[in-house]
Chain A
Amino acid sequence: MLNQLTISELTARLATRQCSAREAMQACLERVARVDGRVKAFLSYDAADALARAEAADKAIAAGANFKQRPLLGVPIAVKDVLCVKNHPCNCGSKILDKFISPYDATVIERLKAAGAIVFGRLNMDEFAMGSSTENSAFFTTLNPWDTTRIPGGSSGGSAAAVAADEAIATLGSDTGGSIRQPAALCGVVGLKPTYGRVSRYGLVAFASSLDQVGPFTKDVRDAATMLGVISGLDPRDSTSVPEPVPNYAAALNGGIKGVKLGLPREYMIGGLDAEVKLAVDSAVQQLQKLGAQLMEISLPHTDYAGATYYIIAPAEASANLARFDGIRYGLRVDGAGPIELYGNTRGAGFGAEVKRRIILGTYVLSSGYYDAYYLRAQKVRTLIRQDFLKAFEKVDAIVTPTTPTAAFKAGEKSGDPLEMYLSDIFTVAANVAGICGISVPCGFTRSPRLPIGLQLLGKPFGEETILQIAHAYEQNTGWHKEKPPLP
């Protein structure tokens, strides 16, 4: 089944003409047709466009195109509905964008296309990437391929579920407080959040500009390295992208991890940590030690403040970023007596409950008289959180934690209580606040029901090579990433 292959397996077959890109694309489309009624990962896809692009890839392969230069040639890749794909809709899981059609490609989409990928569908998400379950999507809730009574995580839940269900070879998502790593953990796939500045945000609809990064969901660590290599690098259209050279991530994977120093932060062993998750992470840590890693306990003393810092900074930035959805230049318009009423009516009708909650919270923490008490204070605590990490990275090469405190929860279980939902990101938000990189890899399952568990590795700023290498070494010695959900 071609849709089950990894990027490296598929491109190897394409290069030796064992299959065509059209066949691979067709296999993914058939899989979507068979299972997506239950998983509901896709908001839309254009099968005719996808097959035409696959045929173009086959022609390029026949003409001798080089997989070294175009490492994703003929590979079907779907993307989160927060990335602009030229001449395709973009809704960000919201009603407010209405019939919006992107006039240009996001930089990451341009780069995927330049690398030969077939970008073929839009994946469901929490509205404007605000949420941890996809239950905040204005369209529908995506379900976890391992248990379709449960959520896939969020906000990039569609991106994680599509890879877990083999509906795409790989996908892109975005991570503002854990929105790649958390759903990757809950769906049993690999998810990578790059260092802030590593990947261009041009064409990524902004949620919290100082925290957002685009990153891949893949079936193994090698594919994550390949995808990261394609999407990384300086972009003159994003002034926060960094002129740091892009290493050959995939080539760095083969070394062992003997002598690599891993930090275990004592603050992450909290009360709310599920016993089965703890067991799986402990045994992953032992496995890493067997592979030659040196373990040491470290302290990240301000861990307990990361959530509160995040829930000031992210809504504050969102309240400014989402001001553009005003019913004037694009998207929904609900008329009113004057412009102020038009804005209020449009935004009142177009935004869902969580987005309203965060915009109002963000507006409040930035408002006159409260700015210093909330926003400025949060920015100062942000400094302390970042310093905790930088200090720890003087002693260790990477930090190991669980990705989430529990496995996937039931749909509806937390949707009534926003604060409880926020706490499912407790292990992932700090990396965004500090601007460092992180990856989640499968590290086991709960017993009954059988649900995936994720191991998180956090790395230094621009230390993606190191965490990929550690994750790869771990994966090579375990079989977790090869397990498939029971989805006929």
Chain B
Amino acid sequence: MPTTGFDVKYVAHLARIELTPEEERKLAAQLGNILGYIEKLKELDVSQVEPTAHAVPMLNVTRPDEVRPGLSNEQALRNAPSRAGGLFMVPKIVE
């Protein structure tokens, strides 16, 4: 099983997801199986193949750099879990 280097706790931290010990144990086993499944791609020689990021590649889609109407302050804050003075409230970041 190709779980070498797969540290669920570390990757969950990178993804900013707090896991319970039970979840960690379960995920490690399940992800081991899934990684085993995706290892299949190593059978193919892709050294001469270009990657595809999008099936319909369109380059440099631009629009005129003009001011357009967007959400109002009130609309943007409507769903905020915490707000004050027309701003999103967040925990203290800088000491």
Contact = CB atoms under 8 A, between A and B. Distances in A.
Interface of A: 98-101, 103-104, 195-197, 210, 236, 239-240, 242, 302, 304-305, 307-309, 311-312, 319, 323, 326-333, 335-345, 347-349, 351, 353, 356-357, 359-365, 367, 369-370, 373-374, 376-384, 386, 418-419, 422, 433-436, 461
Contact of A377 (B31, B41, B78): B41
B16 A344 contact: yes
A288 B71 CA distance: 51
Contacts of A369: 5
A361 B82 CA distance: 31
A344 B17 contact: yes
A422 B27 CA distance: 16
Contacts of B44: 302, 305, 381, 384
A345 to B, nearest CB: 5
Nearest to A343: B16
Interface of B: 5-6, 8, 11-20, 23, 26-27, 30-31, 33-35, 37-42, 44, 46, 49-56, 58, 61, 63, 71, 75-76, 78-82, 88, 90-93
B91 A339 contact: yes
Contacts of B92: 338
Contacts of B93: 338-339
Contacts of B13: 344
Given A339-B93, A343-B16, A360-B11, A196 B41 contact: no
Given A99-B79, A327-B81, A347 B16 contact: yes
**Interface on chain A toward B: helix, strand, loop, or mixed SS?**
helix
A319 B6 CA distance: 17
A367 B17 contact: no
A360 B14 CA distance: 8
20 contacts: A103-B79, A210-B55, A240-B54, A327-B81, A329-B88, A330-B79, A331-B79, A338-B93, A339-B93, A340-B16, A347-B17, A357-B27, A360-B12, A369-B5, A374-B41, A377-B42, A378-B41, A380-B50, A383-B50, A419-B33
Chain B contact residues: helix, strand, loop or mixed: loop
Contacts of A359: 15, 17
A34 B6 CA distance: 50
A380 B56 contact: no
A196 B54 contact: yes
